[in-house]
Structure 1
């Protein structure tokens, strides 16, 4: 069971890196695109980071569900799952932004993207609080 937990934590760390980095990278991608009119290396890197971390997110969710089953699904874990679902929705919306950016469509302002990026930080903090404190 320890290996499942280790894999879960490792994949969560990788997924979180992308959750925090990709919205910020879109801001710089948008600025670069405005100057050059091309996606360039930054766009390619942002897309690849998103795509790679998608698999890590799936593994994190599967191993988390497996571990939750082993724990017997205590009440606090239901709250964690709800928060993870919200963070996953945020991540999927980020994917929509990446797809549009690949087409050269940058509709959101820099301010929106900055706020959008910070929302994920608060989501991660909430999840960590639930895991550490186990409020119920």
Structure 2
């Protein structure tokens, strides 16, 4: 596929990118909340097993595919001629924020594996604070893409 073929597909690629981002963000908002609830039950509690199943399915069936799709469609968008002005500064902060979001996703995956082993990787308060990270990153990303302030 050449880059010239991307221009006619732009609205479709952009639509698929937005759909992927919405699915990814939903998971990034919900998984830390599940960890908060998981922290409130003892490892031997039957509810702990339920949380483990919910966390694993959310990450593997929704979040991982959505993150991969977000990256694929996002890269296709930036490869489309005329979409990004590479001399503008906004895309640097947007890209750094997407990298931070991806790191956060990977950290949630590590935490999920710890919960699977009945470990508690952070405190409940720590999870409550981290629960705000995707919101802050989302705000930065949206302002960079829509307002392009610099």
- TM-score normalised to the size of structure 2? 0.83
Equivalence for 2:101: 87
Equivalence for 2:6: none
> Could you say which structure has the larger radius of gyration?
2
Q: State the distance in 2 between where 1:55 and 1:33 align.
A: 31
Equivalence for 1:48: 57
Equivalence for 1:130: 144
State whether structure 2 residue 74 is matched by structure 1 residue 64. yes
Gaps of 5+ in 2: 1-9
Q: State the distance in 2 between where 1:7 and 1:84 align.
A: 17
Q: State the distance in 1 between where 2:15 and 2:143 align.
A: 19
Q: State the distance in 2 between where 1:72 and 1:91 align.
A: 25
8 A Cα contact 1:11 1:56, kept in partner: yes
- Measure how far apart 1:73 and its partner are: 4.8
SS of residue matched to 1:90: helix
> Per the alignment, do residues 73 and 89 of structure 1 end up closer, same or farther by CA in structure 2, a change over 3 Å counting?
farther
Residue range with higher mean Cα deviation, 25-34 or 7-16: 25-34
8 A Cα contact 2:97 2:140, kept in partner: yes
**Greater helix proportion:** 1
- TM-score normalised to the size of structure 1? 0.91
> Per the alignment, do residues 57 and 73 of structure 1 end up closer, same or farther by CA in structure 2, a change over 3 Å counting?
farther
Equivalence for 2:130: 116
Gaps of 5+ in 1: none
